[in-house]
Amino acid sequence: MIPVQGYEGRTLAILGLGRSGRTAARALAVGGASVVAWDDGPAGRAAAEAEGIPLRDLSREGAFAGIDALIVSPGIPHLYPQPHPAIAAAWEAGVPVDNDIGLFFRSIAQADWADLAVAPKVVAVTGSNGKSTTAALLHHVLTEAGRESQLAGNIGRGVLDIEPPGSGGVVVLELSSYQTDLARSLTPDVGVFTNLTPDHLDRHGGLGGYFAAKRRLFAEGGPDRCVIGVDEPEGRYLANQMVEGLGDDRLIRVSSGRKLTGGWSVFARKGFLSEYRKGRQTGSIDLRDIPGLPGAHNHQNACAAYAVARTMGLAPRVIEEGFRSYPGLPHRSQLVADRDGVRWVNDSKATNVDSALKALQAFDRIRWICGGLAKEGGLGGLLPAAGAVVKAYVIGREAEAFATELRGVEAEVCTTMARAVQRAAEEARPGEVVLLAPAAASFDQYDSFEKRGDDFAALVDAIT
């Protein structure tokens, strides 16, 4: 555990008692602070009471008397669409509001770091899509290369729950916009921006607010090195702001689909990763036959992970070995079965149109299981990949409405996952892929995209 520094003998309040909230309470206590906490749900309060964490309703008048700071869990709105009443009360009381990411960055440097031969480093990965795969892939490559690495944040363990890193250790964090938006301290050694597509717009007051939350990691964090995807205007804007010119090697630009010129760059074209520095090619990897990284979207993730690994001193050959042994993440282009010439792929994490489009573009001859709680903007963005779809099997409570938006795609309304898997199994032919890429949230039928993906995998296992 990372003991929180700077609050010894002081009292902090915690709002939200899920994984991050309870871990923050323990880390604060280890650091010598006192804690009170609240959760709007009875289950969260019960879990806190079981751990001996004192409860206080932070929405009540006078609740912030004697409180030095409020620590907020990432799922709780602090500005849009409207601030939680407890956060508004903290503002009125003049109490600083932070989150566990802010506590982590102010506490990660321990007193014994001066005695370490090589100072530890923190890599923070953000973006709309691919950040989980990029972070997990980098962690895998580092571990396979014999480097001490810990994976935390939105993936793996809570940021304060990891062990203090040793000499030369690396902490790889996946950070969402909910986390970067509020953290009062953001000081990664390497910052990674994968890409930007519309998501969480209600939480950030629009696309500009969403990008601003991501940009804080760089503009306020001031990382020593930046790895930035430049396939969207926001990435190109951010990359331009972080350097003095093309010769500034504090920046590594990343692209999937086009060659980059000038400066330090890593890009993938037609399945081949290339690294260029000072006008010369310094590394390359054939990504086409790496099973854990199918499709152009995963090639972009590979480029970002490769770039960070190069800043850590790893050779291209060592990185490629790590890529080839990477097993992939559950629910992200995960091969769950290969039977009678038909591949079954679980990409339940494709909860928006852009991520589903990238999943569709990774395969040919697709029997596509899709649907769920649709997000704003409609499904028009999926049409460029419609030619690869043999047939769609639509699930969700609003399956009929979802199916009508799939113009030019043969679609069958199945409503349930069980029916969709059954129908796809009956109709799939050798050489085809049955792909779960919902392009929608799961909450109309499942508690999470993980539960949805697990259901798909279990049904496929039963059939195959």
- The answer to whether 127 is a known ligand-binding residue is yes
Smallest Cα–Cα separation from 301: which of 326, 336, 330, 335? 326
Q: Which two tokens stand for residue 393?
A: 């099997």
Question: Which phi and psi angles does 190 have, rounded to 5°?
Answer: -130, 125
Helix (H) or strand (E) holding 235: helix 233-241
**Rounded distance between C-alpha atoms, residue 193 and residue 149, angstroms:** 20
Strand locations in 167-223 (E): 170-174, 190-193
C-alpha separations of 214 from 109, 176, 210, 441, 463 in Å:
23, 8, 7, 22, 42
How far is the first Cα of the chain from the last one, in angstroms, to the nearest whole number?
43
- Contact assessment for residue 188 and residue 180, using Cβ atoms and an 8 Å cutoff: no
Compute CA 290 distance to the chain's CA centroid, rounded to the nearest angstrom: 22
- The answer to whether 133 is a known ligand-binding residue is yes
**Rounded distance between C-alpha atoms, residue 196 and residue 405, angstroms:** 24
For 84, other C-beta atoms within 10 Å of its C-beta total 18
Written as one letter, the residue type at 370 is C
**Rounded distance between C-alpha atoms, residue 134 and residue 153, angstroms:** 13
**Rounded distance between C-alpha atoms, residue 57 and residue 320, angstroms:** 52
Smallest Cα–Cα separation from 134: which of 227, 264, 243? 227
For 267, other C-beta atoms within 10 Å of its C-beta total 23
Residues 6+ apart with CB under 8 A from 303: 254, 255, 256, 266, 267, 268, 273
**Rounded distance between C-alpha atoms, residue 258 and residue 387, angstroms:** 23
**Rounded distance between C-alpha atoms, residue 285 and residue 253, angstroms:** 17
Smallest Cα–Cα separation from 414: which of 445, 430, 392? 392
**Rounded distance between C-alpha atoms, residue 369 and residue 352, angstroms:** 14
Q: Which two tokens stand for residue 447?
A: 């508690």
**Rounded distance between C-alpha atoms, residue 109 and residue 107, angstroms:** 6
**What's the alpha-carbon Rg for the chain, to the nearest Å?**
23
- The answer to whether 313 is a known ligand-binding residue is no
- The answer to whether 128 is a known ligand-binding residue is yes
Annotated binding site: 127-133
Annotated binding site for ATP: 127-133
